[in-house]
Chain A
Amino acid sequence: MNNSKKKILIIEDEKILLDLLFEKFEDSGFEVNCAQSAEIGIKLAIQKHPDLILLDVILPKMDGLTMLKKLRQDKWGKEVPVIILSNLDDQKKVSEAMKIGVYDFLIKSNVKLSDVVKEAREVLE
């Protein structure tokens, strides 16, 4: 691990899942920021400049992919690594996300929390 803590931003509207992710990443030594909507998520992202963003697709108003598109228009946001973490595995959504540019598209129910952390570390190394 690096000496300085890696910053991660988690955007997830399901409170229970968000809590589980938050704890897991904090326990794993990350500095974690959370948002339950895309609108707050993009604000926090521009403010805090996290090293990695975990992004859900289905969100209350603006959906995750729309947020991602906006983020990619930002000078900093263009480069930040993003992992999609969603339960919607619609093929269209997956290819759309890949086109905009994400590191991976994970299905929540098909991965362990530890797998998510493992992948996050892989990205940041």
Chain B
Amino acid sequence: MESKNSLRKTGIDIVGDVPWGTHFCQFYETKQDLLDVLVPYFKAGLENNELCIWVTSEFLTTEEAKLAMQKSVPGFSNYLKKGRIEIFPHTEWYLKGGSFEMKRVLNDWVQKHDKALKTGFNGTRVSGNPFWIDNKKDWNDFASYEAEINKVINQYKLLVLCTYSLIKCGSSEIIDVISNHEFALIKRKGKWENIESSAHHKIELALRNSESRYRSYVELTGELAWTTNTKGEVEEDMPEWRKYTGQSFEEIKGRGWAEALHPDDVKRVIKIWQKAVSTKKPYEVEYRIKRFDGIYRHFLVKGVPIYSKEGEIHEWVGTCIDISKHKASEEEIIKHSRQLKVLNKSLQESLVKEKALLESLGDGVIAVDKKGKFIALNKRTEEIFGWKPEEILGKSLFKEFKLADEQGKIIPKELRPIKLALSTAQVGHGIYFLVRKNVSRIPLFVTSAPVILNNEVVGAINIYRDVSQQVVIDQAKDEFLYFASHTLRTPLSAIAWSIEKLNENNKEYSLEQKKSLDLIYDQTQRMIQLTNDLLDATRMDLGLLSYKYEETNPNVIVSNVIADLKNLIEDKKIKFKLMTDKNIDSYKDYSNALYMILHNLLANALKFTPVGGKVGLNITNTEKEITLQISDSGVGIPKSAQAKIFQKMYRAQNVKDKFEGSGLGLYITNGIIKHMGGKISVRSKPGHGSIFTVLLPLISKAIHPKEKERIYI
């Protein structure tokens, strides 16, 4: 398009530069008149890389033309040899088949033009001469031919200069000629003049404007404009189509354009086309057109018939609109709706499953919306609250029941777990008492969790566990612990302290009396120890022993334990040997339970080792764990008993009668070690002694200290 508009040098002074598609003429009287115009015309053409075609006449023959060119154009024979200029006598051009046939001649021009572009010329410039015409019919045919040239010349990179002999033209012929050309050159008083056909010029301008506007519009919309004859054959060029498909004009001509259609669409398109032709009605059809890169895109193609004055269809025009995007979104929608169907089905399935799951739960479950209104509840909820779903759905949870604390004080709405879940999106839980008319106080463990959709709280799920049973059990446990620790120990303390007082105040007891006092004191201490073991074991069983991971130095604990057992070591004259890793004090994050473990194991070792025996404590560590090794030269543990010593209340046969004990010490020790994620093992040879090895993780990640969920009333 761009080059089409760029101006070409005509070489004719009076004309100057003209755009491609200029169709003008010259009137001549003498050979010199012809040469005056044509020689510079073709010279300029040759110099500007245009294919030059000169059709001569009897008035100025081919030979004369060549001679004139040779005189004025340097290197002309070379141009001629290379085919850059072709000079034909009219007999080989207009009258090639014996007579003048407009279509053939026009087609020949187009072929020359296309070939020129393909072989690297910028365009084609031609000159013709109808000197051979000698009757009215031929004249009329030739005038139609000229008019036809005007219609199509804008599509081509073509300059056409027609030369008319003034001698042969009458006045009506002259008018014909002038109106069929953009302008005419005529020699008056020895000077060339340019006569413009004003009407022609105006029409031409308007046409060009409208044409260029139309072309711009088409280019903007990306539509492909087309024109075909009544048989659907392309005769006129379709630049947008060629640009899109990459086909050449040669390729689209006739039915060639259909080659770009998707093979699957061709049959359907032909059917619709044939129907349109037979009904003479506008049509619409969708088909795929192959782009230059081989990709098919969807087009909506519309066509309308154009009627001639006689009421006959003489051509079809239309556009192809690229609808691939619409097509893609249409397919997307279909795909989505299919996916939705599948999703819907699986949703329904999971709903059924969830419902079954909810119904089977032993806890009451209530779902509420963001305002706290009932959406759903399960069977267990109905049992706890005594509701029927149809009575309660849609009502506000806050109005239907209240919760109270241990003292019976009503929990304000703002502090209820569900409010927490709905307003702060946090999980709230706690023990509360259900307050309802005519219903006894029921302790409930309430959990409220927010339901979050797209970062917004849309409701909450509430779980209600009736903990009446648990409350009773926990109460009993607490009472037992209170009894064992306080009630049981108080008289024991009184006895122990009283004997202590007796021993201090009166030193004149007989040996017998002294022996009895010692016995009472020892048995009281034994009773106290049993009570302590019982308490520890019970607390451990209930998960109430607290293992706080505090910043503790294991070395400090070890020395505390040894200090507490110092009397015993000295009393029995035990040779005690302690070996600890130097780096061990750098470890922190260790548990207080280490005290209980070391105390229990060392006390055992001292107890079962005879006077003058050996007890050792060896502590080593790696990055991950600490190893405690407690060795003694005591009675040892029979092989059959080794697996059982960590069981509750188990006492090995060889110590049962000779040593005091509850059978709880190792049970507690083992329990604590397991709780901390550690291990305990024993090696022993009866009569020679035992070695207990304890591995404890230094990083508390193994098992975090966690007290059992307890409910205090």
Interface residues of A (CB under 8 A from B): 14, 16-17, 20, 23-24, 58, 86-91, 95, 107-110, 112-114
Contact = CB atoms under 8 A, between A and B. Distances in A.
Interface of B: 481-482, 485-486, 489-490, 492-494, 496-498, 500-501, 504, 528, 531-532, 535, 539, 544-546
A95 B548 CA distance: 11
Contacts of B493: 17, 87, 108-109
Contact of A91 (B482, B528, B545): B545
B85 to A, nearest CB: 114
Contacts of B485: 87-90
A16 B493 CA distance: 10
Given A91-B545, A91-B546, 16 more contacts: A14-B490, A16-B494, A17-B494, A88-B482, A91-B539, A91-B544, A95-B546, A108-B490, A108-B493, A109-B492, A109-B496, A110-B532, A112-B496, A113-B501, A114-B500, A114-B504
A111 to B, nearest CB: 9
Given A89-B535, A109-B492, A110-B532, A58 B486 contact: yes
Contacts of A109: 489-490, 492-493, 496, 528, 531-532
Nearest to B501: A20
6 contacts: A20-B497, A87-B489, A91-B539, A91-B546, A95-B546, A113-B497
Contacts of A108: 489-490, 493
A18 B69 CA distance: 147
Contacts of B532: 109-110
A23 B501 contact: yes
A-B pairs, top 6 by smallest CB distance, nearest first, are A87-B489, A108-B493, A109-B489, A109-B493, A91-B546, A109-B528
A16 B496 CA distance: 12
B548 to A, nearest CB: 8
Nearest to A114: B500
A38 to B, nearest CB: 16
A112 B494 contact: no
Given A20-B497, A109-B496, A113-B500, A87 B528 contact: no
Give the secondary structure class of A's interface: helix
Contacts of B546: 91, 95
A87 B535 CA distance: 12
Contact of B528 (A17, A110, A113): A110
Contacts of A86: 486
A90 B501 CA distance: 28
Nearest to B539: A91
Contacts of B496: 109, 112
Contacts of B544: 91
Given A109-B492, A109-B531, A87 B486 contact: yes
B497 A17 contact: yes
Contacts of B531: 109
A30 B504 CA distance: 18
Contacts of A110: 528, 532
Contacts of A114: 500, 504
B507 to A, nearest CB: 15
A20 B494 contact: yes
Contacts of A95: 546
Nearest to B496: A109
A87 B490 contact: yes
A112 B545 CA distance: 25
Contacts of A88: 482, 485-486
A95 B9 CA distance: 108
A44 to B, nearest CB: 23
Contact of A24 (B486, B501, B539): B501
A15 to B, nearest CB: 10
B531 to A, nearest CB: 7
Contacts of A113: 497, 500-501
A8 to B, nearest CB: 17
A17 B500 contact: no
A24 B532 CA distance: 25
A14 B487 CA distance: 11
A123 B490 CA distance: 25
A87 B484 CA distance: 9
Nearest to B494: A16
Contacts of B490: 14, 17, 87, 108-109
Contacts of A91: 539, 544-546
A29 to B, nearest CB: 15
Contacts of B481: 90
Nearest to A94: B546
